[in-house]
Amino acid sequence: MKSIKMLSAFLMLSSTLFAQSIKFPSVDSAEDPTTVITAIETNSNATIVSFKHTSPVKGNWVQLNKSMYLQDANGEERYNYIKSEGIPLRPERFVSKEDNQEVIFKVYFEKLKPGTKSINIIERARSMSELNNGINFLNYFKVDLLKSKSETSHETRATQVIIAPPPPLENGTSTAMGFENMANLAPMMNNMYGSMLQAQLNTLSKPAVINQMAKVTKNYYDALIKAGFSVDAALKIVISKPLVSINDGVRN
């Protein structure tokens, strides 16, 4: 009886040691800007990836392919799809009924091996017609299982900063008015940024602009193929280093 209890305790301890979880993991590159990874958890049975999709405009749709899998970013191990919750499987679709509607869902995969540090999450590769039509899949590359975005912010805040006193001003000028004016600039800068972002979203919502972006991306892909890159290599370059980016505009 004592041996059985010790074995049970060992199995419970092993299960705990192999458990792994992280919130908002750092991602090197992603294909779909409207869907973010909120958490990744590995328990004794499976690896669970949680997502949040935000549909920018009413009528946009989202679905999931059962061919989705995980891959060790530093090796060849592959972990297949088991099940999903909160999102329809292809050919069914979730169609948003309002702007900025959110969809929270989870996807279960075969359990990652202990010690896995970084993974790729691959739903499927895009065809040229899908690329031209602006269809994205849930493809994420070099997802860090040890470092989250929040940890990066925490490290920045923890940096020690030493502020030296300002030099004395001539003619008795006070610095209080200068600091007050700087503080008053904050609301104006916020409004300016909000206006710029809204203008960008309005531009990107126009079909003609999206079609032009798609054509530029296709020409980029065709040029890579013509230059001697393989289909897979060209696709990865287009995904990871697009000429046209929603965040950056046209890259230099």
Lowest mean pLDDT among 50-59, 196-205, 222-231: 196-205
End-to-end CA distance of the chain: 71
pLDDT tens digits, 210-230: 778 888 888 888 888 888 877
Residue 251: predicted pLDDT: 41
CA distance 150 to 45: 27
| pLDDT averaged over every residue in the chain | 78
Structure tokens at 140: 């994420």
- Helix 207-226, helix 176-204: angle, nearest 10: 80
pLDDT at 156 over 50: no
The yes-or-no verdict on residue 50 having pLDDT over 80 is yes
Please state the rounded mean pLDDT for residues 163-182.
52
Identify the band that residue 247 occupies on the pLDDT scale cut at 50, 70 and 90: low
Distances (CA, A) of 164 to 161, 167, 181: 10, 9, 20
Q: Would you place residue 154 in the very low, low, confident or very high pLDDT band (cuts 50, 70, 90)?
A: very low
What average pLDDT does this structure show over 129-150?
85
DSSP for 213-226, please give it.
Answer: HHHHHHHHHHHHHH
Residue 141, C-beta contacts closer than 8 angstroms, at least 6 positions apart? 27, 28, 29, 30, 73, 120, 236, 239, 240
**Does pLDDT of 146 surpass 80?**
yes
| CB neighbour list of residue 177: distance below 8 Å, 6 or more residues apart | none
Share of the chain above pLDDT 70, in %: 71
pLDDT given at position 1: 52
pLDDT-based confidence at residue 151 (cuts at 50, 70, 90): very low
Contacts of the segment 231-238: beta carbons below 8 A, 24+ positions apart: 232/125, 235/125, 235/126, 236/141, 238/131
Q: What is the pLDDT of residues 91-116, one digit of tens each?
A: 999 999 999 999 999 999 999 999 99
**pLDDT at residue 252 in the model:** 41
Report CA-CA distances (Å) from 150 to 38, 53, 138, 157, 185: 11, 19, 22, 11, 27
Average pLDDT of span 16-37: 85
